[in-house]
Copies of this chain bind each other. A is one copy, B any other.
């Protein structure tokens, strides 16, 4: 008897084995809607470059600028078009438990392989509240918890991670706090992805991290795969650090959005409150591309410095 796929969920092991997960950018049309054509090409570039998973609608993908129906649609679309080639991790987290529950149910229903869950940023809550929040969504499917206190205003402490680690769906943590924290977890057998591109090489090779959930891999998926798969390589890491620093010179994904537009991979359309990097930083990017080699970046067009008036900023969409 044929069984619906719905009962045949992704196993947690299918998630913990991923080393290169791209927090993929969401490209836009000039009216602010998703540019699915560009998105599909982007995902294709990730697959060809060796990324093994994507975060859909993460902070990099500007999930917080999407309506939930757009967000779930994008997850479903990604699964439908690419789900057999790459693991689809939906950022169905929210600072509202209701929203997190609803989105996570819907995300798994449309086939996402795993959920990414943030702690309730901005609103914040108590330790007991945090645990209740995660417990409300963990039964639904494989889950990565995301700790980024510089955005959320609140650290998810190891005690909390340990409290929720009893759930069989707990795949691991996307951790941004640093090497020491990474080591504290990996010593205990908890799977960690570095959330900081500039630390991921050391996290991986010195502190036991499994891999990276990367912004840089939007641009250089092949090199990020090399960095995570082919052993310690300080030469490569040093070579990439200027790019990684540049990507975070302003709150992500400002620089990434600017970069992909300048590579001719996406249209230069920004949803506010994001605006492009200033000219000198745009010039700097083209130099960085030259130093690393255009062939290592996604896209085929020449990298060029866009003018201010080539960018489209959208506030109603």
Contact B315 A40 (CB under 8 A): no
**Interface CB pairs A-B, < 8 A, 18:** A2-B48, A5-B82, A31-B316, A59-B122, A65-B98, A65-B123, A69-B72, A73-B106, A73-B109, A76-B76, A80-B80, A80-B110, A96-B273, A98-B317, A102-B316, A126-B274, A132-B313, A150-B153
Contact A4 B97 (CB under 8 A): no
Is A272's CB within 8 Å of the partner chain B? Answer: yes
Report A114-142 residues with CB < 8 Å from chain B CB: 118, 120-126, 128-130, 132-133, 136
Give every chain B residue within 8 A of A69 (Cβ-Cβ). 68-69, 72, 106
Would you give the 0/1 interface string for A145-166, flagging 1 where the beta carbon is closer than 8 Å to chain B? 0000111111000000000000
User: A-side binding surface: helix, strand, loop or mixed?
Assistant: helix
Interface residues on A, range: 35 or more
Is A221's CB within 8 Å of the partner chain B? Answer: no
Is A11's CB within 8 Å of the partner chain B? Answer: no
Task: Compute how far the CA of A187 lies from the CA of B95 in the bound complex, rounded to whole angstroms.
Answer: 37
Give every chain B residue within 8 A of A271 (Cβ-Cβ). 97-98
Task: Compute how far the CA of A95 lies from the CA of B121 in the bound complex, rounded to whole angstroms.
Answer: 11
Q: A98-B315, A128-B275 are in contact. List 10 more A-B contacts (CB 8 A).
A: A4-B40, A64-B123, A72-B76, A74-B109, A76-B76, A77-B110, A110-B110, A121-B151, A122-B122, A129-B254
Is A79's CB within 8 Å of the partner chain B? Answer: yes
A96-B65, A271-B98 in contact; A254/B111 too (CB < 8 A)? no
- Number of copies of this chain in the oligomer? 4
Give every chain B residue within 8 A of A219 (Cβ-Cβ). none
Give every chain B residue within 8 A of A65 (Cβ-Cβ). 96-98, 123
Task: Compute how far the CA of A16 lies from the CA of B4 in the bound complex, rounded to whole angstroms.
Answer: 26
Cβ 8 A contact of A59, one of B37, B106, B123? B123
Report A76-107 residues with CB < 8 Å from chain B CB: 76-77, 79-83, 85, 95-98, 101-102, 106
Task: Compute how far the CA of A316 lies from the CA of B278 in the bound complex, rounded to whole angstroms.
Answer: 33
Would you give the 0/1 interface string for A274-316, flagging 1 where the beta carbon is closer than 8 Å to chain B? 1101100000000000000000000000000000000001011
Give every chain B residue within 8 A of A109 (Cβ-Cβ). 36, 73-74, 76-77
Is A52's CB within 8 Å of the partner chain B? Answer: no
A97 to chain B, nearest CB (A): 4
Contact A101 B254 (CB under 8 A): no
Task: Compute how far the CA of A133 lies from the CA of B136 in the bound complex, rounded to whole angstroms.
Answer: 33
Is A47's CB within 8 Å of the partner chain B? Answer: yes
A82 to chain B, nearest CB (A): 7
Is A62's CB within 8 Å of the partner chain B? Answer: yes
